[in-house]
């Protein structure tokens, strides 16, 4: 083991002391017995002191090395513990991040569902643009569904059900843009059930309230038909005259002229 430089300097006299032990005869020759013994004792004390110092230095070095090793081991252990703690913390944070990501995804899905539901409810109540019988207007989705349902019943020749459906529609939506068409089809359904008086009044309401509507010429022709069924020939002729006069270019006026000729 290489000792630190100061200890090396202290060990140098050991060699000379060892040599000094080899010349007791010369010392005896030069000095007296007491002086020689004294010199030898002093030399031995110096050698012992130097040896003790060297041993102490060696032990101190070993102790220092052991302390350094222990310190190093403690530092490595602490560092390892810190690394493990950091790994555990990273795992925890990663788990939290994944949990938050799932929660955010779920919230986004719920928000989308809510928005979809809201949009659907708005579509159910928000007015939509309608063009029917050459008239444009807005109507609630439920309003449109009810009118279409009544018309579908009429097409299936379910006249009584259609009459009830149109009557309920007109009560529920008195200001509807469908009103002229609803009156026209209601009158036709009533005529089909031979409720001629009711059909006459329904079509008269259409002609009176909506004189410029596209269904008005047809309603006048239907009125004349109901009047004929009610044996009111004069009334039928007046109605047909009105049809030909007010709507001369309509197809209903052409048919009205033929019927008018037969009534005269």
Nearest to 54 by CA among 125, 2, 111: 2
Specify the higher pLDDT residue, 7 or 151: 151
Specify the higher pLDDT residue, 65 or 94: 94
Position 174 pLDDT exceeds 70: yes
Q: Chain-wide mean pLDDT for the chain?
A: 85
> Quick one: pLDDT at residue 116?
73
What is the tens place of the pLDDT at every residue in 105-115? 888 888 887 77
Beta bridge partners of 128: 139
Mean pLDDT within 152-171: 97
Position 235 pLDDT exceeds 50: yes
Specify the higher pLDDT residue, 144 or 11: 144
Q: How confident is the model at residue 124 (pLDDT cuts 50, 70, 90)?
A: low
Instruction: Please state, in angstroms and as integers, the Cα–Cα distance from residue 208 to each residue in 155, 180, 226, following that order.
Output: 26, 10, 17
Which region among 18-22, 40-44, 91-95 has the lowest average model confidence (pLDDT)?
Answer: 18-22
> Quick one: pLDDT at residue 67?
73
**Cα 24–Cα 30–Cα 36 angle in degrees, nearest 5:** 45
What is the tens place of the pLDDT at every residue in 75-88? 888 888 888 888 88
Share of the chain above pLDDT 70, in %: 84
Position 183 pLDDT exceeds 90: yes
> Quick one: pLDDT at residue 14?
46
Which two structure tokens, joined as six digits, stand for 222?
């239907």
> Quick one: pLDDT at residue 85?
87
What is the tens place of the pLDDT at every residue in 133-160? 999 999 999 999 999 999 999 999 999 9
Position 25 pLDDT exceeds 50: no
Nearest to 200 by CA among 169, 232, 178: 232
Specify the higher pLDDT residue, 85 or 23: 85
């Amino acid at each position: 083991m290489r000792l630190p430089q100061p200890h090396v300097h202290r060990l140098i006299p050991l060699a000379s002391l060892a040599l000094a032990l080899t010349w007791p005869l010369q010392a005896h020759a030069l000095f007296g017995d007491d002086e020689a013994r004294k010199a030898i004792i002093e030399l031995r004390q110096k050698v012992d002191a130097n040896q003790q110092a060297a041993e102490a230095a060696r032990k101190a070095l070993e102790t220092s090395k052991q302390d350094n090793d222990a310190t190093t081991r403690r530092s490595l252990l602490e560092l390892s513990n810190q690394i493990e703690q950091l790994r555990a913390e990273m795992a925890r944070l990663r788990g939290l991040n994944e949990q938050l990501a799932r929660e955010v995804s779920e919230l986004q899905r719920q928000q989308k569902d809510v928005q979809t539901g809201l949009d659907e409810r708005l579509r159910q109540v928000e007015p939509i643009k309608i063009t029917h019988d050459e008239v444009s207007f807005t109507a609630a989705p439920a309003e449109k569904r009810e009118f279409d349902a009544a018309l579908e019943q009429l097409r299936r020749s379910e006249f009584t059900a259609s009459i009830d459906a149109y009557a309920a529609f007109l009560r529920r939506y008195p200001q509807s843009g469908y009103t002229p068409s609803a009156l026209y089809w209601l009158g036709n359904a009533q005529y089909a059930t031979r409720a001629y008086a009711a059909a006459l009044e329904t079509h008269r309401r259409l002609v009176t309230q909506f004189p410029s509507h596209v269904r008005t010429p047809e309603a006048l022709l239907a009125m004349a038909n109901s009047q004929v069924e009610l044996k009111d020939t004069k009334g039928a002729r007046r109605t047909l005259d009105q049809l030909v006069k007010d709507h001369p270019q309509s197809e209903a006026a052409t048919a009205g002229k033929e019927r008018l000729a037969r009534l005269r």
